[in-house]
Structure 1
């Protein structure tokens, strides 16, 4: 599920952006004032977009981007001078004052990119041979049994580990099996 999380240090700003998105037909998962709250919402969905300001109550937008999973994109809403020196990877910027038309077009473009990535991942999953699928399934079962995870949690763990280590999911599953089977 794609989640949109709105995070601004002033709750009124976050609520106004949320209302704007909802009025234009976009589902919003949550509204937050801190990076920690945003991370909590991010844990409830597989992928999504964080719409945020430059500085949150507990961290800067760069810190939040670093803590978010790779499956999340970020839309920074700030004055041009805050991001004119370049944005962090996975972050798009909109300058203040924000225009509804620009916000909605940017969100639609980001949602399209997320959808495109999802289709690409599904296509790669279909290209796995049965032996590779069996390896991933065994690793999930082992994680579920040893760590009391649900299948979805085990899958997300394998995904995140594979992204963090720069290996594909089958290789990560093989590593999990070799380490945990000892």
Structure 2
């Protein structure tokens, strides 16, 4: 389920948007009246959708978009006159007066994008850090010297052993290096 933050400078606007979203099945985590409150809640959550107005007492929507964690999408609901230069990069804009079906359809689209983004992130191969790479290289060198393997054979051995044991290659490399006699 996608976390939703609502932030409007006028609390009654925030409550109204929150009620519409809840009635349509969205999980509204918080309603904020300032940009600082929205940023604080967003950093606690890490990802989600921020539904907000164009201006707050402490910042404008563009500044808010720049400061949000990477996992957040932004939906700005405001008068067209407040967005003369267009919405900030990556943000979606809905013009006031707001039609409920437009809000719900836009939220559905943004929630699907959030789910797809999480799936892509989970399915992306994890990058090895330098220490892990160094351990794997050391284990390969040891296998090449001790067992007279080529680099490719040593790599395959570590890879197969890690798959058989259900552990990562660097954990298998640690195990191999720990078996030194």
TM range (shorter): 0.5 to 0.7
CA deviation vs aligned residue, 1:135-158 (integer Å, no higher than 9, x gap): 49xxxxxxxxxxxxxxxxxxxxxx
Aligned residues of 2:54 and 2:77 also touching (Cα < 8 A):
yes
| 1:21 alignment partner in structure 2 | 21
Q: Where do 5+ consecutive residues of structure 1 fail to align? A: 137-182
Counterparts of 2:93 and 2:26 in 1: how far apart (Å)?
19
| 1:42 alignment partner in structure 2 | 42
| 2:90 alignment partner in structure 1 | 90
| 1:117 alignment partner in structure 2 | 117
Matches within 5 A, 1:1-182: 2-124=2-124, 127-128=125-126, 135=132
Aligned residues of 2:43 and 2:69 also touching (Cα < 8 A):
no
CA root-mean-square deviation: 2.1
- Structure whose CA Rg is larger: 2
Query: What is the number of residues matched between the two proteins?
Result: 133
Q: Where do 5+ consecutive residues of structure 2 fail to align? A: 134-181
Aligned residues of 1:2 and 1:45 also touching (Cα < 8 A):
no
Counterparts of 1:64 and 1:13 in 2: how far apart (Å)?
18
- TM (norm. structure 2) is 0.68
| 2:152 alignment partner in structure 1 | none
